[in-house]
Amino acid sequence: MKIKIQNNTINILFVFFAFFLLSSCDQKNGKSVLKNNNITVKVFSSLTCPHCANFHENVVLKIKNDKEINNVIKFEHIGFPLNLQALNAEKVLQCSKNQEKKDELLTHLYKKQNNWASQSDINDINESLKNIGKTYGLSITELDMCLKDENLEEKILEKLLNAQKEYKINSTPTIFINNKKYKGDHKFKDFKKEIEKLL
């Protein structure tokens, strides 16, 4: 009887220590676990906002080209259009279903922002947006449909309203790193330091 109790006790202790060791491994390898998961960076921005274009060019693109940390970061553009021009540009962006092309299109819209967004007539702006969209594999028919798509417009505006309620957005760009608002300067070095704190 005593032997059975001892064996049971040993089994219980073994399970306990095995669990403890597994927990310890998870804690010790916390950084490794994190590196296997993306740090999510949400960028709430309007495509006609110069500060958003600046952040994209001088922070987002540089982070993506930084071999030390680019493999752990997932950038998420969340449209927060502040005018009709930005809304239509967002429609064109959402028209692209290929994520790689969409990322390239987003960069192009920011890079050429002064050209297409500065025009006074919305029809001229739409033509410029369609010309840009064509460069990234979208047909004129697709682009016309997206620009006239009321359901797409409602989805974009609904996301804007939800973002306003949940994240209290009052300016663009507003950046959240893993759902924590980034309050530092919109400079590459400052932003990289903030990311490195999580590694």
Helix, strand, or coil (residue 180): strand
Beta bridge partners of 117: none
Q: How far is CA 101 from the centre of its chain?
A: 15
Peptide bond into 173 cis (omega under 30): yes
Question: What are the structure tokens assigned to 75, written together?
Answer: 């950038």
Return d(Cα 84, Cα 124) in angstroms, integer: 13
Where along the chain do its domains lie? Answer: 39-196
- Domain spanning 39-196, CATH class: alpha beta
pLDDT of residue 38: 82
DSSP code for 56: I
pLDDT higher than 70, residue 31: no
Percentage with pLDDT > 90 across the chain: 79
CB 171 within 8 A of CB 44: no
* pTM of the complete model: 0.80
Other CB atoms within a 10 A radius of the CB of residue 31 amount to 10
Return d(Cα 100, Cα 111) in angstroms, integer: 17
Return d(Cα 83, Cα 157) in angstroms, integer: 11
Average pLDDT, the chain: 85
Radius of gyration of the chain (CA): 24
CA quadruple 80, 86, 89, 95: dihedral positive or negative? positive
- For tokens 């033509």, the residue is 127
DSSP code for 57: I
For the stretch 37-83, pLDDT in tens is 589 999 999 999 999 999 999 999 999 999 989 999 999 999 999 99
Q: How far is CA 133 from the centre of its chain?
A: 21
Compute φ and ψ for 180, nearest 5 degrees.
-110, 130
**178 Cβ partners below 8 Å, 6+ apart?**
39, 40, 198
Other CB atoms within a 10 A radius of the CB of residue 176 amount to 18
pLDDT of residue 37: 54
pLDDT of residue 109: 98
